[in-house]
Chains A and B, each alone.
Chain A
Amino acid sequence: MSRTVEFDVHHVTRVEGHGNIKVRVKNGTVDEVRWLVPEAPRFFEAMVRGRSWEDIQTVVSRICGICSVTHSLASIKAVEAALGVEISRQTDRLRILAHYGEQVESHVLHVGYLVAPDLLGQKSVVPLVTSHPEVVQTVIALHKLGNHMMEVLAGRKTHPIRLKPGGFAKLPTEAELRDLKARLQAAVPQLEALAEVILSLAGELPDFRRETEYIALVNPPHYPFYHGQIGSTDTDERVPVAEFERVVNEYVSPQSTAKWTRWHRDAYGVGALARFNLNAEHLAPLATKVAASFGLEKGCTNPYLNNVAQLVEVVHVVERSMGIVDELLEAGIRPEKPHVEPRAGVGVGCVEAPRGILFHKYEFDERGRCLAANICIPTNQNHANIQKDFEALLPEILDEEEDAIRLKMEMLVRAYDPCISCSTHYLDVEFV
Chain B
Amino acid sequence: MRKPRIGIFDFACCEGCQLQIVNLEEEILDLLGVVTPVEWREAMSDQAEKGESFDIALVEGSITREEDAERLREIRARAKFLIALGACATIGGVNKLKNNFGMNDVKETVYGEAADMPHLETMPTKALHEVVQVDYMVHGCPIEAAELAHVVRTLLAGKTPTLPAYPVCVECKLKENACRFEFGEICLGPITRAGCGARCPSEGSWCFGCRGLVDDPNTQAAREVMAHYGKTIDDLRGKMLLFNSK
Chain A residues within an 8 Å CB radius of B238: 52
Segment among B49-57, B89-97, B224-232 that sits at the interface with chain A: B89-97
Segment among B23-31, B75-83, B147-155 that sits at the interface with chain A: B23-31
Asked, given contacts A161-B205, A169-B205, A252-B114, whether A429 binds B119 with beta carbons under 8 Å apart, the answer is yes
- Contact of B45 with A by CB under 8 A: yes
Cβ of A162 and Cβ of B203 under 8 Å apart? yes
Asked, given contacts A65-B142, A425-B110, whether A170 binds B204 with beta carbons under 8 Å apart, the answer is yes
Which A10-57 residues have a C-beta within 8 angstroms of B? 11, 13-18, 38-43, 45-52, 55
Complexed CA–CA distance, A15 and B29 (Å): 21
Complexed CA–CA distance, A427 and B120 (Å): 8
Chain B residues within an 8 Å CB radius of A159: 16, 141-142
Cβ of A155 and Cβ of B13 under 8 Å apart? no
Complexed CA–CA distance, A429 and B67 (Å): 14
Chain A residues within an 8 Å CB radius of B23: 147, 157-158
| Distance from A104 Cβ to chain B, minimum over Cβ atoms (Å) | 13
**Chain A interface residue bracket vs B:** 35 or more
Considering residues A15, A39, A143, A158, which has the most beta carbons from chain B within 10 angstroms of its beta carbon? A158
**Number of interchain pairs (Cβ within 8 Å):** 165
Complexed CA–CA distance, A140 and B109 (Å): 41
Indicate with 1 or 0, residue by residue over A406-424, a CB within 8 angstroms of chain B CB atoms.
0000000000000001001
Point out the residue from B32, B119, B199 that lies within 8 Å of A427, measured CB to CB.
Answer: B119
Indicate with 1 or 0, residue by residue over A147-162, a CB within 8 angstroms of chain B CB atoms.
1000000011111011
Complexed CA–CA distance, A162 and B204 (Å): 7
- Contact of B166 with A by CB under 8 A: no
Which B18-48 residues have a C-beta within 8 angstroms of A? 18-20, 22-23, 25-26, 28-29, 32, 37, 40-47
- Contact of A64 with B by CB under 8 A: yes
Indicate with 1 or 0, residue by residue over B82-123, a CB within 8 angstroms of chain A CB atoms.
000000000001110110110001110111001001011010
Cβ of A47 and Cβ of B94 under 8 Å apart? yes
| Distance from B213 Cβ to chain A, minimum over Cβ atoms (Å) | 18
Chain A residues within an 8 Å CB radius of B204: 155, 161-162, 168-170
Complexed CA–CA distance, A15 and B110 (Å): 24
Complexed CA–CA distance, A421 and B119 (Å): 17
Asked, given contacts A40-B11, A46-B105, A46-B109, whether A158 binds B16 with beta carbons under 8 Å apart, the answer is yes
| Distance from A96 Cβ to chain B, minimum over Cβ atoms (Å) | 19
| Distance from B59 Cβ to chain A, minimum over Cβ atoms (Å) | 14
- Contact of B171 with A by CB under 8 A: no
| Distance from A345 Cβ to chain B, minimum over Cβ atoms (Å) | 20
Point out the residue from A52, A140, A424, A429 that lies within 8 Å of B25, measured CB to CB.
Answer: A140
Chain B residues within an 8 Å CB radius of A123: 44-46
Cβ of A59 and Cβ of B32 under 8 Å apart? no
- Contact of B135 with A by CB under 8 A: no
Point out the residue from A46, A62, A144 that lies within 8 Å of B106, measured CB to CB.
Answer: A46
Chain B residues within an 8 Å CB radius of A427: 119-120
Complexed CA–CA distance, A285 and B107 (Å): 48
Q: Is the interface of A mostly helix, strand, loop or mixed?
A: loop
- Contact of B5 with A by CB under 8 A: no
| Distance from B40 Cβ to chain A, minimum over Cβ atoms (Å) | 8
- Contact of A164 with B by CB under 8 A: yes
- Contact of B12 with A by CB under 8 A: yes
- Contact of A126 with B by CB under 8 A: yes
Asked, given contacts A59-B242, A123-B45, whether A65 binds B15 with beta carbons under 8 Å apart, the answer is yes
- Contact of B179 with A by CB under 8 A: no
Complexed CA–CA distance, A424 and B142 (Å): 20
Asked, given contacts A13-B45, A123-B45, whether A158 binds B25 with beta carbons under 8 Å apart, the answer is no
Complexed CA–CA distance, A55 and B188 (Å): 13
Point out the residue from A13, A68, A117, A252 that lies within 8 Å of B42, measured CB to CB.
Answer: A13
Complexed CA–CA distance, A49 and B105 (Å): 11
- Contact of B136 with A by CB under 8 A: no
Point out the residue from A49, A113, A257, A424 that lies within 8 Å of B43, measured CB to CB.
Answer: A113
- Nearest A residue to B108, CB-CB: A46
| Distance from B61 Cβ to chain A, minimum over Cβ atoms (Å) | 8
26 A-B pairs within 8 Å (CB atoms) are namely: A11-B41, A14-B43, A16-B15, A17-B15, A18-B41, A42-B12, A42-B98, A43-B106, A45-B109, A46-B98, A46-B109, A47-B101, A49-B101, A58-B242, A59-B94, A65-B17, A68-B16, A129-B32, A157-B23, A158-B142, A161-B199, A169-B203, A257-B114, A259-B111, A424-B110, A427-B119
Would you list the 7 A-B pairs with minimal beta carbon distance, nearest first? Answer: A65-B16, A170-B204, A169-B204, A124-B44, A155-B203, A123-B45, A46-B106
| Additional pairs, 14, CB under 8 Å, beyond known A68-B14, A140-B25, A257-B119 | A14-B43, A16-B15, A40-B64, A42-B64, A43-B122, A45-B110, A47-B97, A49-B109, A62-B14, A66-B19, A126-B32, A140-B28, A161-B199, A169-B203
